[in-house]
Structure 1
Amino acid sequence: MSAISSKEPTIALDGTRKARGNLTSARIRWAMAFVLAVFVVMGGRLVWLGNMDLDTAIEGQARAAIMASRPPILDRNGIEMAVDIQVPSLYAEPRRILDVDEAAEALRTVLPNLDPAWLRDRLTGDEGFVWIARELTPAQRDRVMHLGIPGIGFLTETKRFYPGGPVAAHVMGAVNIDNVGIAGMEMYLDDSTDLGLLQELGLARDSELNPVNLAIDLRVQHVLYDQLVDAMERYQAIAAAGAIMDVHTGEVIALASLPDFDPNNPAGMLEEGRYNRITAAKYELGSTFKTITFAATLDSGAVQITDQIDARFGVRFGRYTIEDFHGKYRILSVPEVYKYSSNIGTIKMMQAMGKENFRAFLTRLGFEGTPVVELPEVTASAIPSNFSEVGAATASFGHGLSVTPMHMLRAVSALVNGGRLIEPTLLMRTEAEANARATQVISAQTSDYIRYLMRLNALEGSGSRGNAIADGYRWGGKTGTAEKVVDGRYSSEKSLALFASAFPLDNPQYAMIILVDEPKRENEQTGRTAGWNAGEVSGRIVARIAPMLGIQPNTDPAVDDRLIPVQLRF
């Protein structure tokens, strides 16, 4: 009995060990299965996340676009006109804001312009990201950081900066808060390059974008701008504008229009009257257009430079008679018709050519449609498709049709450069590239005649005041004082003064157009016609920029004598 009893505990112990071993094995298997299941779930989740398109937008704007840079814009000499700078922008994560009222009150101690109700609304909710304030200063960023508000942070954005401020506003245009071009060359660059695509891809960085060199000469631009500012003050004008173009390449080396705006504060461009008057406005250009009529008639052969024109009596159309402003009322030579700005003589020259041929010449000289230039701010000319007799007569001296100053600048360039019509451009271009796209619109001989007439008007006509200022630089052109239409009638009290010119006329390099809108007399001893304002402004500009452009003064009378056509030399 005792032997049997001694073996029973051994049997029980073996069974317990076996049961415990089986339990441990089961637990290990379950643990392994659980771990495997976790890895399967995690792997599936990773695969799902990897195939998922993540929304990286910030309030509808791609992060890459916000962080992307734009190419630097330089003038023709490499001077910076637009660059990118890095600025901090304030955002909030409303889901992390602990006390909305306290956070709003604290933020307004640094940013008092934020509307309290709007700010509390922005800080309320479950959004993961909302903008609070864009493009802050480093000092403002530091003060907000010191507040220590949970759920408030900063994102570094790229901001466009224009070192010259408003000096070239209508050339540069502007960008919006998201660094997208909305006007001027900034908009042109976005529309004509892959910059927008680069922004979306996040590849647009300063180191990867080549600078864009404009044709603008910032030295000349500053002079033009300064003189237009002076003109508005001196003549109490409501606006002034001007542009200067290389007659051989079509490069616009300066363009300004006042009133303007500061591209660093683009909201200013929305204020009334701050549009580009060179490309986005059209005008009756008055007697400056007589240069076009003279080119048309002389090139057609209907009028010779040696002809005499009967200007003794006004030209009658029904009940109306067109007279001269300061009439000589005698027979005039062709150069005298130009020098004295005779409406009568100009009409008779156009009539010798024929109104249909005159209308066709305007098309040939590129006056129809919008000006061909990179700027998006353009408007189309308003020229009747067919001229009546009286319509052709008034058009011959710049009334009854409206064109942009850029159209006129392009035409004047063609009239003095030997007759080649070249598209204007704000980008750099060689003369060979310009000639490849040029169209011959008048003969070289007609171009010589026009250069002589423009210089004659500077020496003896309405440009003499400006010529005295620009003495030595062989400058000349044609004035225009166009009465403005008020309540459907031409007003003798409101006028647009213009001067379309070129220099140096012995070897033309540049054409220029200047306009002064509604000028007043500078003093009691002066007038308000274009020779007194737009002409003098032009002379002051030439006197300052000609040395910059390498044009040497020369007061030798023989230079002007050589411009006289052989047929008129005695």
Structure 2
Amino acid sequence: MLTFMMMGARLVQYGAIEPVITGSLGAVSRVASRPTITDRNGELLATDLNMVSLYADPRRIVDADEVVEKLATVIPDLDWKGTHSKLQSRSAFQWLRRQLTPKQQADILALGIPGIGFRPEKSRFYPGGVAASHVIGHVNVDNQGLAGMERYLDQQGLSELRELGMTSDVSLEPVKLSIDLRAQSIVRNIVHESMVNYKAEAAGAIILDVDTGEVIAMASVPDYDPNQPSRTLPNGSVDKEYEKGWFNRMSNATFEMGSTFKSFTLAMGLDAEKITLNTVVDASRPIRMGGFTIRDFKGKNRPLSIPEVFQYSSNIGTAAVADRVGIDGHREFLTRLGLLSKMETEMPGVATPTQPRTWKKINSVTISFGHGVATTPLQTAVAAAALVNGGHLIQPTFLPRTPTQAKLLSRRVIKDKTSADMRYLYSWNGVRGSG
């Protein structure tokens, strides 16, 4: 009789307390959504998937060992020791596994384990995988943007809306980017193959619309899969080599851009009317200056016309042009083209260019062929676009922009005739030079 009285009392107690919820999707806080991201043609780049995450109330766990054994039948890579420790804690809430599939949820429900439940969540999915990882970026397990345009969206107020609960279970308007997924995929594959073939540490490329400033494609390798932004090694540690792929060298790093700067030096000379396309400079012998000797790689050892200076990538000829313009004019011209100041665009984490604290003649000479100043590859492309689009500097964008909008944002930096001359030089070099 005493035993049955105790059992009856326990039944009354169980009947009076709040029931344990194991499967209800509306029991915990609402889900924070993110807008779908597409390319310029509407192709899907990022979207939310409905998932569930498993949690436990350790106070209601009867046998932690049994719970771990049962969960391991559904979750093969379950951390037995860590899960067992969580189940024996004194807290009222412990995450056991984030973002389970519907099948895993159903299998766990079938186990009939008291004291565990499911919380509805959103998982970000990137159909293109690595193709546009540095442009799109990625999110953390709580669906918060950490890099790329995902982080940009949070910086534009999405994170504040999330905190106010205004993005919960709400279908947000899609965000269209300027990139073309077709071009993006090709560029990414090409730079990856180049990095492998040349055994390089890294590689990158950008396709820019010179009339609107829209970034059509931008790839930086090594890269990573935003669906799996971090990776765990067999010993349980984080794969640091894999995480190096997070670094976007096209906008987040600066480099001495080498002979690409010869474009700007010749444009500077043409715009200042210190040279014309018919000008001939002496490149017959090396230049000795401040203890340094400046030579040409496979030099012609003769006077060169300006098209030939560009065609043969002559350091000596380029230095002669910079000398005609002068130190102050040289620095002013590169500043005008935006190569010496931090670039403005939507991409977070843009690097700031570096330059000599004091410009001397030797600095001007070496900068004329791309050494002594470090800038981002994206800025180099933007400045080069101004050389060929009629002379208008247009800040780059990863969002769609019309030619009319671009015209309002643009700033003339060189004469139209200078731009026409530069188009001629680029064409000349493409046909007769190294490209």
Larger radius of gyration: 1
- Deviating above 4 A after TM superposition, structure 1's stretches of 4 or more consecutive aligned residues are 63-66
- Tell me: CA distance 1:426–1:206, structure 2 relative to 1, closer, same or farther (3 Å): farther
Could you tell me which residue of structure 2 aligns to residue 315 of structure 1? 287
Cα distance in 2 for residues equivalent to 1:420 and 1:205:
43
Cα distance in 2 for residues equivalent to 1:342 and 1:162:
45
Cα drift, residue 177 of structure 1: 0.5
Cα distance in 2 for residues equivalent to 1:396 and 1:227:
29
TM-score by length of 1: 0.68
Cα distance in 2 for residues equivalent to 1:320 and 1:254:
40
Cα distance in 2 for residues equivalent to 1:65 and 1:353:
66
Could you tell me which residue of structure 1 aligns to residue 111 of structure 2? 147
Cα distance in 2 for residues equivalent to 1:206 and 1:336:
63
Whichever residue aligns with residue 202 of structure 2, its letter is: A
- Tell me: CA distance 1:206–1:455, structure 2 relative to 1, closer, same or farther (3 Å): farther
Cα distance in 1 for residues equivalent to 2:29 and 2:229:
19
Cα distance in 1 for residues equivalent to 2:293 and 2:91:
75
Cα distance in 1 for residues equivalent to 2:185 and 2:110:
43
2:390 to 395, 418, 433: 418
Could you tell me which residue of structure 2 aligns to residue 427 of structure 1? 399
Whichever residue aligns with residue 266 of structure 1, its letter is: P
Cα distance in 2 for residues equivalent to 1:224 and 1:192:
29
Could you tell me which residue of structure 2 aligns to residue 395 of structure 1? 367
2:99 to 130, 135, 139: 135
Whichever residue aligns with residue 120 of structure 1, its letter is: H
Could you tell me which residue of structure 2 aligns to residue 362 of structure 1? 334
Q: Deviations over 1:353-374 (max 9, x none)?
A: 1111001111100012322221
Cα drift, residue 307 of structure 1: 1.1
Could you tell me which residue of structure 2 aligns to residue 204 of structure 1? 167
Cα distance in 2 for residues equivalent to 1:311 and 1:372:
38
1:285 to 257, 268, 277: 257
Cα drift, residue 387 of structure 1: 1.6
Percent of aligned positions that are identical: 47
Contact 1:64–1:199, Cα closer than 8 Å, also in 2 = no
Cα distance in 1 for residues equivalent to 2:193 and 2:29:
41
Cα distance in 1 for residues equivalent to 2:316 and 2:419:
23
Structure 1, unaligned stretches of length 5 or more? 1-62, 464-570
Matched, 1:353 2:317: no
Could you tell me which residue of structure 2 aligns to residue 372 of structure 1? 344
TM-score by length of 2: 0.88
Could you tell me which residue of structure 2 aligns to residue 327 of structure 1? 299
Cα drift, residue 385 of structure 1: 4.2
2:152 to 160, 168, 188: 188
1:230 to 171, 185, 193: 193
- Tell me: CA distance 1:169–1:328, structure 2 relative to 1, closer, same or farther (3 Å): same
Alignment of 1:157-556 (within 5 A): 157-193=121-157, 195-205=158-168, 207-267=170-230, 271-272=243-244, 274-463=246-435
Cα distance in 1 for residues equivalent to 2:44 and 2:253:
28
Q: Matched residue pairs, number?
A: 400
Matched, 1:69 2:33: yes
Contact 1:303–1:353, Cα closer than 8 Å, also in 2 = no
Q: Deviations over 1:219-260 (max 9, x none)?
A: 111111121222223323222111111111100011111110
Instruction: Please identify which structure carries the higher strand content.
Output: 1
SS at match of 2:73: helix
Whichever residue aligns with residue 56 of structure 2, its letter is: A
Q: Deviations over 1:438-468 (max 9, x none)?
A: 11000000000101001101100012xxxxx
Cα distance in 2 for residues equivalent to 1:375 and 1:216:
13
SS at match of 2:194: helix
Could you tell me which residue of structure 2 aligns to residue 500 of structure 1? none
Contact 2:33–2:171, Cα closer than 8 Å, also in 1 = no
Cα drift, residue 326 of structure 1: 1.2
